[in-house]
Structure 1
Amino acid sequence: MVEFGDLISAVGEFCLYQKLLVLLLSLPLLITPFQMVGQVFMVVDVPHYCNTDWIRAVGPNLTEEEQLNLTLPRGADGEYDQCSMYSPVDWDLDSIRAYGLNATEKCSSGWVYPTAQQPSLLTEFDLVCDRKDLGDISQSLSMVGLLVGAMIVGPLSDRIGRRPVLLISMLGQSLFGLVLAFLPNFTLYVVFRCIMSTAASGILITTLPLATEWVGVSYRPAAVLISHCFLAAGQLLLAGLSYGIRNWRLLQIAGSAPMFALFFYFWVLPESARWLVTRGKIEEAKKYLKKAAAINKRTIPPELLDQLKCEARTKSGSILDLLRKKHLLKVTLIMACAWFVDGLVYYGLSLNVTGFGLDIYLTQFAFGVVELPGRICCIYMLRWFGRKKVQAVLLLVAGLMCLIIVGIPEDQAVAITVLAVVGKFAASASFSTSYVYSAELFPTVIRQSGVGLCSMAARVAGIVAPLIRLLEQYHHAIPMSVYGGATVLGGLLCFLLPETSRIELPDDTETDNHEKRNKLQTLPKTDSEEKEMNSENKV
């Protein structure tokens, strides 16, 4: 019986067809970071105070400064209070000036934003004072959408295929992302953003199996991480867009509309041939394999295609296998934990871009710049050190950076930002490693279900991360301590996972990945690996 890896070797492990496929899968990821964390730049805090136009009825000729001085209390620092006002009275202007106002109340007629600026979510929907936490809460609710997507997309992709789920997700993200720009109130904004996030989750999850199931063993990390480099480039694009477009509605359109340019995917995006084989769709799988071989200028031996018929009986799997089978249960629990702390530290740092003391656009740009080498370095680190060590060490570094930040004085903005950037480097690299590692640990028949389940853990972390930030009102060190401590613990747990470097992808749920280790030395090496081995032997 032919192994599917033999067919990939015949087609070409990472030739023109696979490179074009990786490019196709990468383009949507340029836009995804905007949909996930772009709201941070729509709720930047600005000076504001209560609307006290009631006094204009008795003093229409008052200057703005006189109006504020008569109607707003001052804080201990001498500045006008931003969230309270003197209670309106039925006095004439002379009496108000003579006796002054004493009773205060919360803003009852809205707020005024004196600085000239473009409309933002904060100013248009008054996300200030008692409504200030709504920004973080809405970010958490959008992460609920990512969680729902992870719950739905994984099993659905294993059932109906990778291609249709990805196409539907792309359409949903672009359509609902565009609708967000035209909504009249904040409640509708939160609801539609949650739906849009569900589609974004589908893109993140479904690109993974298509990238890994079409390439050879040695090229799996490169296929996944090249696409993740586009995520890093999307972070840079987010910094540029948000800096250049301050009107939140125009920014939302600019971050959503480009996805419609990818409508041609309907005709060119292939299905996973490996998935088709596991579902018994042999003829369709052969069609894709022959097309890939033709583009790569290769020829598949007829006897290999004939033997492919035997693969049609691959036993199907269920998401319950992840809980019933001992080796899969261990992998699932630890990888879910790894994804959870990945999401916690990644979103904890990303969403706190306004809290490090430097210009938020500069900080976001630094975050994007450092993500790119983080994703690229992963390709080489995974090749040199394997999956387990890289996953564990990166999580430990990200967690330690957060813990060190706790001990830095708040006025040391540059030092804090540098540590945060290092933490973001490790967190982004760790996230990429998790995608590669998960795709290799779970068998084909439930790969999407397994990755989706782990992704759910990351989305729960995404929901929790903004809420943890609210704890800083009790002590500024609490959020970073939680992010750092949990991440260090998750990194230590990863040392319990099996290694999957240069091991063929499992197709059914019966095979323990530990058994695959015995084949480690028998797999063909790439030319680059042969050169490395020869140079080491000479030394």
Structure 2
Amino acid sequence: MAEFGEFMKILGEFGPYQKLVILFISLPLLLNPFQMVGQQFMVLDVPHHCDTSWIRAVGPNLTEEEQLNLSLPRGADGAYEQCRRYSPVDWDLDSIRTYGLNATEECRSGWVYPAGQPPSLLTEFDLVCDRKDLKDISQSIYMVGLVLGAMIFGPLSDRIGRRPVFLISISLQGFFGLGTAFAPHLYVYMAFRCVVGIAVSGTLITSLALATEWVGASSRPKAVLITHCCFTLGQMLLAGLTYGVRNWRLLEIAGNAPMFILFFYICMLPESARWLVTKGRIEEAKKVLQKAASFNKCTIPPELLEQLKLVKQTKSGSILDLLWKKHLRKVTLIMLFTWFANSLVYYGLSLNVTSFGLNIYLTQLAFGAVELPARLFCIFLLERFGRKKTQAVLLLLSGLMCLIITGIPEDQSVVITVLAIIGKFAATASFSTSHIYAAELLPTIIRQTGVGLYLMSARVAGVLAPLIHPLAEFHRAIPMAIFGSPPVLVGLLCFLLPETRGNDLVDDMSSKILEDLSKKDITEDGEDLEKDIYRSLESK
């Protein structure tokens, strides 16, 4: 029976066909940053105060300044209160001027915003004062969608294939993403955003599978990180898009409409040949491999193709296998904690872009720009130091940056932003590492189920991240302390994982690779032993 790695050697580990596949799965990721953090630019704080038009009934000729002076209380700093007004009374204007008003109440008639202000999510749905928490809740609803998407599309991708799930995901993202631009009510907007989160999760899961399963072992980090670099470019484009388009509905259209261009994938995107083999769909796998070979201008020997007939259809795995099988349990538990901590610090920094004290558009551009070298540098780190050490050190560094920020004075905005950028650099590189590492640790027949489970853990952290920011009202250091502590603790746990650098992907859960490695002490010298075990198993 031929090992699938032999076909990759003939096709080329990263030939023209594989590069085309990587390009196809990378393009949707250009729009994902808009879904992830674009809302932060639609809810920017603007000056506002309670609607006090009631006083116009008794003083129709009042100037705006006189109206506000008579109907709004002032704070300790002398500025008008934004969330309270004087209670309306049945007095005439002279009595109001003579005696003044004392009783106050909440803004029962709505709010007034600066004239000429472009419509934003905040001003249209009044996400201020006692409704301001709806901004963070709305972002968390999107993250809930990401959790649901991981639950649904992870196992589904292992059962029906990577290609159909990818196509379903980009379709949902296009239709419901564009639908948010026409949402008549905040709760409709939230519901549509939840579906978009489900779709984005499906896109991320299947792009990881296709990127890892279509290339050879040596090119795997490169392939995955190219897709991540497209996500990074999307973050940089987001800064320009949000700066140029201030109307939130037009911004939603601009950020979602391009997804419809990708519908040509129905004809162009191939299924994972490796997945087809594990499902016993041999003839389909042969056709896909021959198409790839033709595109790469090489020939697969007929006798090698015939050996695929000996491959038996493999039973589908489930989440329970990840927890019950001894050689997968430790990996699964540690990776669950790793993805949770990584997501917490990544979104904690990304969603806090408005709180570092500098121009938010420049900060977003810097956050996007720093991710590009982070992902490219990650290729060098993975090849030079391996997956385990890279994952552990990057997590530790990202967490430490957040913890250091808690001790920096609030008026040192430049220092805080620089530390946040360093933390974002480390968190980004760590996130990319965890994607590659997870794909290499899991067998093909359960890879998407496992990645979906890890993504669920990451998205739970994503749900919590926006809800942690309001804790700054009690003390400004609390959010950063929460974002920084888990990565430091989990980074130490990562040293318990096995190394996978340079090894081919595992297809069957009956493989003894991880089980054999779990009996060894993973040391510097032991890394060569790991490779020997993998190579000996491949030869068999």
What TM-score, normalized by structure 1, do the two folds share? 0.96
What per-residue deviation string (whole Å, max 9, x for no partner) do you get for residues 323-342 of structure 1? 11011111111011110011
Could you say which residue in structure 2 is the equivalent of 1:481? 481
Could you say which residue in structure 2 is the equivalent of 1:349? 349
Residue 520 (structure 1) aligned to one of 517, 524, 531: 531
After TM superposition, the structure 1 stretch with the greater mean CA deviation from structure 2, 241-250 or 489-498, is 489-498
| Aligned ranges 1:311-322 → 2 under 5 Å | 311-322=311-322
**Do 1:178 and 1:257's aligned partners in 2 also have CA atoms closer than 8 Å?**
yes
What per-residue deviation string (whole Å, max 9, x for no partner) do you get for residues 111-148 of structure 1? 00125310000000000000001100111111000000
What per-residue deviation string (whole Å, max 9, x for no partner) do you get for residues 34-91 of structure 1? 0111100000011100000000001111111110100000000000000000000011
Q: CA deviation at 1:316?
A: 3.5
**Do 1:394 and 1:426's aligned partners in 2 also have CA atoms closer than 8 Å?**
yes
Aligned to 2:319, the other structure's residue is in SS state coil
Could you say which residue in structure 2 is the equivalent of 1:324? 324
After TM superposition, the structure 1 stretch with the greater mean CA deviation from structure 2, 312-321 or 365-374, is 312-321
Q: Quick one: distance in 1 between partners of 2:404 and 2:250?
A: 39
Is structure 2 residue 27 aligned with structure 1 residue 16? no
Could you say which residue in structure 1 is the equivalent of 2:520? none
What per-residue deviation string (whole Å, max 9, x for no partner) do you get for residues 329-360 of structure 1? 11111011110011100110111111111111
Is structure 2 residue 169 aligned with structure 1 residue 158? no
Aligned to 2:339, the other structure's residue is in SS state helix
Q: CA deviation at 1:522?
A: 9.1
Aligned to 1:105, the other structure's residue is in SS state strand
Is structure 2 residue 392 aligned with structure 1 residue 381? no
Q: CA deviation at 1:523?
A: 8.5
Aligned to 2:312, the other structure's residue is in SS state helix
**Do 1:172 and 1:196's aligned partners in 2 also have CA atoms closer than 8 Å?**
yes
| Counterpart amino acid of residue 260 in structure 2 | F
Could you say which residue in structure 1 is the equivalent of 2:521? none
| Counterpart amino acid of residue 199 in structure 2 | A
Q: Quick one: distance in 1 between partners of 2:114 and 2:176?
A: 32
| Aligned ranges 1:83-482 → 2 under 5 Å | 83-482=83-482
Q: CA deviation at 1:203?
A: 0.5
Could you say which residue in structure 2 is the equivalent of 1:493? 493
Q: Quick one: distance in 2 between partners of 1:477 and 1:523?
A: 47
Q: CA deviation at 1:312?
A: 2.7
Aligned to 2:101, the other structure's residue is in SS state coil
Q: Quick one: distance in 2 between partners of 1:313 and 1:51?
A: 68
**Do 1:154 and 1:205's aligned partners in 2 also have CA atoms closer than 8 Å?**
yes
What per-residue deviation string (whole Å, max 9, x for no partner) do you get for residues 238-283 of structure 1? 1111000000000000000001011110000000000000000000
Q: Quick one: distance in 1 between partners of 2:378 and 2:151?
A: 27
Q: Quick one: distance in 2 between partners of 1:121 and 1:41?
A: 9
Q: CA deviation at 1:511?
A: 2.0
Q: CA deviation at 1:308?
A: 1.1
| Counterpart amino acid of residue 334 in structure 1 | I
Q: CA deviation at 1:318?
A: 2.4
Q: Quick one: distance in 1 between partners of 2:127 and 2:144?
A: 20
Q: Quick one: distance in 2 between partners of 1:193 and 1:74?
A: 38
Q: Quick one: distance in 1 between partners of 2:325 and 2:363?
A: 45
What per-residue deviation string (whole Å, max 9, x for no partner) do you get for residues 189-215 of structure 1? 111111111001101111001011010
What TM-score, normalized by structure 2, do the two folds share? 0.95
Q: Quick one: distance in 2 between partners of 1:290 and 1:308?
A: 13
| Counterpart amino acid of residue 531 in structure 2 | L
**Do 1:282 and 1:312's aligned partners in 2 also have CA atoms closer than 8 Å?**
no
Q: Quick one: distance in 2 between partners of 1:359 and 1:116?
A: 21
Q: Quick one: distance in 1 between partners of 2:513 and 2:31?
A: 35
Aligned to 2:277, the other structure's residue is in SS state helix
Aligned to 1:34, the other structure's residue is in SS state helix
Aligned to 1:312, the other structure's residue is in SS state coil
Q: Quick one: distance in 2 between partners of 1:213 and 1:107?
A: 57
Q: CA deviation at 1:169?
A: 0.1
Q: CA deviation at 1:519?
A: 6.5
Structure 2, unmatched stretches of 5+, are 518-526, 536-540
**Do 1:441 and 1:513's aligned partners in 2 also have CA atoms closer than 8 Å?**
no
**Do 1:503 and 1:519's aligned partners in 2 also have CA atoms closer than 8 Å?**
no
**Do 2:513 and 2:533's aligned partners in 1 also have CA atoms closer than 8 Å?**
no
Aligned to 1:264, the other structure's residue is in SS state helix
Aligned to 2:85, the other structure's residue is in SS state strand
Q: Quick one: distance in 2 between partners of 1:519 and 1:385?
A: 15
Aligned to 1:341, the other structure's residue is in SS state helix
Structure 1, unmatched stretches of 5+, are 525-539
Q: CA deviation at 1:401?
A: 0.5
| Counterpart amino acid of residue 192 in structure 1 | F
Aligned to 2:13, the other structure's residue is in SS state coil
Could you say which residue in structure 2 is the equivalent of 1:82? 82
Aligned to 2:408, the other structure's residue is in SS state coil
Aligned to 2:504, the other structure's residue is in SS state coil
Aligned to 2:73, the other structure's residue is in SS state coil
Q: Quick one: distance in 1 between partners of 2:145 and 2:222?
A: 29
**Do 1:406 and 1:480's aligned partners in 2 also have CA atoms closer than 8 Å?**
yes
| Counterpart amino acid of residue 403 in structure 1 | L
After TM superposition, the structure 1 stretch with the greater mean CA deviation from structure 2, 467-476 or 127-136, is 467-476
Q: Quick one: distance in 2 between partners of 1:459 and 1:512?
A: 31
Q: CA deviation at 1:301?
A: 1.3
| Counterpart amino acid of residue 87 in structure 1 | S
Q: CA deviation at 1:510?
A: 2.0
